[in-house]
Amino acid sequence: MMKSYCFPSTYEITNQELSRVADSLLNGLKIKMRDNDYIVGNLALNEGYSPHKNINSGPGEEEYELLVKASLLLASSEKDAAIHLTVGFPFSTYMLYRNEVQTVVGKQQLITFDQGTYSDAPVETKPVNIVDVDVIPEIVGCITAIRGTSRIQGNFFMVSLGFGTCEAVLSTPSGILNRTAVSMNGVRYAVKLFEHELAKKYYLELKTEHQMDVLFQQGRITINRVRHDVADLRKKVLRMYYNDVISPRLRKTFTDDDFSKCNQMYIAGGGAYYQDLVDCLKEEFGEFLSISVYPEPEKCASHGYCLHSKSKLATGTVDSLEEINPDTFFQNSAPRLAVGLDVGNATTCVTLSENE
């Protein structure tokens, strides 16, 4: 059975003493890294002054390392166990980052965090041991989740509507067709259009990109204590985004021969929560494809990564542990966690499953 933790990919450096301001570790993430204190996720949204996020960050960047530490801390909060970790990147960059992320994560993470945000406990440094790190394309993670949870056997189109990147590919039981793999601008494109249109009518008070994304999700904005419904504007820019970005790329990439091979399309990613965007896909492809949205679509990639880690543990195809000190818990007989980590541009999601 899999369990997921999701939090906004937002953070802010802070010098605040925050005591009992959250009800759990998930909502009270405060991590020390390189002599700086960071509030992360929901705590950054609630207590930060200008929480921000980085788009398509690489493993060598501070923001990526911070979100990895927060995620591994959440995963290890279930129990002390050796972790087999799978992460993903867009199809266009996963080869570039594959070796680097293995170096950044390493075999052990020492995570210093403040428990006082949600309890009376002090600051603690927790070691998290990692058996192995795999890197796969994000779209392959989504496909793994769909085939693993829905038992789909045939061919299907996979569309991942992410914030920074939108990707699509044709999946077959033997693997993806590389020729059909396509990456393009994500929902961020629509959010930028949304911001430009709003700025014509309202003073937006120098809101950060994440704050604009929240307004976009809500479909309303409060200016001078007056609430304005902007759902129609959101619908307009989502259709502009689909017509200008997504539809032309899919028409160019997928051929009639591809459509003759399958009759299903699956949609995942946080953008799948926008029904207006899903409706655009249904209007274009619904006559000849059965279109389904993955349940809790923002978790799809991390579910697939976790299943990938679990399959590696089940088959024993992980690095040897013989060089590890047998006096520690990190040994062959110790419990292990299969963990999938999706460091998304809007939401970071970590999914775990204990290997039994």
Q: What is the pLDDT of residues 176-217, one digit of tens each?
A: 999 999 999 999 999 999 999 988 888 777 677 777 888 899
Q: Give the pLDDT of residue 111.
A: 97
Please state, in angstroms and rounded to a whole number, the distance separating the CA atoms of residues 142 and 158: 8
| Domain extent at residue 83 | 3-137+299-355
For residue range 308-343, what is the model confidence (pLDDT) as tens digits?
999 988 776 554 333 334 344 334 456 789 999 999
Q: Give the pLDDT of residue 313.
A: 85
Please indicate, yes or no, if residue 205 is contained in any of the structural domains.
no
| 290-293 and 264-268 strand pairing | parallel
Task: Say whether both 177 and 308 belong to one domain.
Answer: no
Burial 275-290 (b: 16+ CB within 10 A, else e): ebbbbbbeebbeeebe
Beta strands (DSSP E) in 269-334 are: 290-293
Task: Say whether both 144 and 290 belong to one domain.
Answer: yes
Please state, in angstroms and rounded to a whole number, the distance separating the CA atoms of residues 15 and 28: 15
Q: Give the pLDDT of residue 76.
A: 93
User: Percent of the chain, pLDDT > 70?
Assistant: 94
pLDDT, mean of residues 160-178 = 95
pTM of this prediction? 0.91
pLDDT, mean of residues 112-122 = 96
Please state, in angstroms and rounded to a whole number, the distance separating the CA atoms of residues 10 and 54: 8
Contacts with 169 (C-beta within 8 Å, 6 or more apart), sequence order: 91, 139, 143, 157, 158, 176, 177, 180, 181, 182
Partners of 220 in the β-ladder: 229
Q: Which of 14, 107, 11, 127 is nearest to 61 (CA)?
A: 11
Task: Say whether both 170 and 70 belong to one domain.
Answer: no
Residue 266 exposed, middle or buried by CB count within 10 Å (0-12, 13-18, 19+): buried
Please indicate, yes or no, if residue 220 is contained in any of the structural domains.
no
Please indicate, yes or no, if residue 214 is contained in any of the structural domains.
no
Task: Say whether both 111 and 151 belong to one domain.
Answer: no
Q: Give the pLDDT of residue 178.
A: 93
Task: Say whether both 106 and 157 belong to one domain.
Answer: no
Task: Say whether both 117 and 60 belong to one domain.
Answer: yes
CATH label of the domain that carries residue 328? 3.30.420
CATH label of the domain that carries residue 241? 3.30.420.40
Q: Give the pLDDT of residue 325.
A: 40
Task: Say whether both 41 and 95 belong to one domain.
Answer: yes
For residue range 261-272, what is the model confidence (pLDDT) as tens digits?
999 999 999 999
Whether the per-residue pLDDT at 7 is higher than 70: the answer is yes
Give yes or no for a contact between 187 and 241, defined as CB atoms under 8 angstroms apart: yes
Task: Say whether both 268 and 174 belong to one domain.
Answer: yes
Q: Give the pLDDT of residue 1.
A: 84
User: Percent of the chain, pLDDT > 90?
Assistant: 71
Please state, in angstroms and rounded to a whole number, the distance separating the CA atoms of residues 144 and 307: 7
The last residue of one of the domains, among 254, 270, 295, is: 295
Task: Say whether both 67 and 159 belong to one domain.
Answer: no
For residue range 122-138, what is the model confidence (pLDDT) as tens digits?
999 999 999 999 999 99
| 328 or 294, higher pLDDT | 294
Count the domains in the chain. 2
Q: Give the pLDDT of residue 330.
A: 39
Residue 72 phi, psi dihedral angles, 5° rounding: -65, -35
Contacts with 147 (C-beta within 8 Å, 6 or more apart), sequence order: 153, 171
Give yes or no for a contact between 130 and 150, defined as CB atoms under 8 angstroms apart: no
Please indicate, yes or no, if residue 349 is contained in any of the structural domains.
yes
Partners of 343 in the β-ladder: 348
Please indicate, yes or no, if residue 174 is contained in any of the structural domains.
yes
Q: Which of 274, 62, 68 is nearest to 159 (CA)?
A: 274
Q: Give the pLDDT of residue 167.
A: 97
Q: Give the pLDDT of residue 200.
A: 87
State the SS3 of 51-76: CECCCCCCCCCHHHHHHHHHHHHHHH
Residue 117 phi, psi dihedral angles, 5° rounding: -70, -25
Q: Give the pLDDT of residue 259.
A: 94
For residue range 19-47, what is the model confidence (pLDDT) as tens digits?
999 999 999 999 999 999 999 999 999 99
Q: Give the pLDDT of residue 334.
A: 62
The last residue of one of the domains, among 295, 324, 347, is: 295
Task: Say whether both 243 and 336 belong to one domain.
Answer: no
Whether the per-residue pLDDT at 222 is higher than 90: the answer is no
Whether the per-residue pLDDT at 71 is higher than 50: the answer is yes
